Amino acid sequence: EVVLTQSPGTLSLSPGESATLSCWASQSVRDNHLAWYQQKPGQAPRLLIYGASSRATGIPDRFSGSGSGTDFTLTISRLEPEDSAMYYCQHYANSPRTFGQGTKVEIK
Residues that bind another protein (CB under 8 A): 33, 35, 37, 39, 43-47, 50-51, 56, 86, 88, 90, 92-102
**Shortest Cβ distance from residue 6 to another protein (Å)?**
9
The smaller minimum CB distance to another protein, of residues 18 and 101, is found at: 101
The smaller minimum CB distance to another protein, of residues 52 and 79, is found at: 52
The smaller minimum CB distance to another protein, of residues 18 and 27, is found at: 27
Give the pairing of strands 85-91 and 19-25.
unpaired
**Shortest Cβ distance from residue 50 to another protein (Å)?**
4
**Shortest Cβ distance from residue 93 to another protein (Å)?**
7
- In this structure, which long-range contacts are made by residues 83-87, counting pairs with CB atoms below 8 Å and at least 24 apart in sequence? 83/19, 83/107, 84/40, 85/38, 85/39, 85/40, 86/38, 86/39, 86/40, 87/6, 87/21, 87/36, 87/37, 87/38, 87/39, 87/48
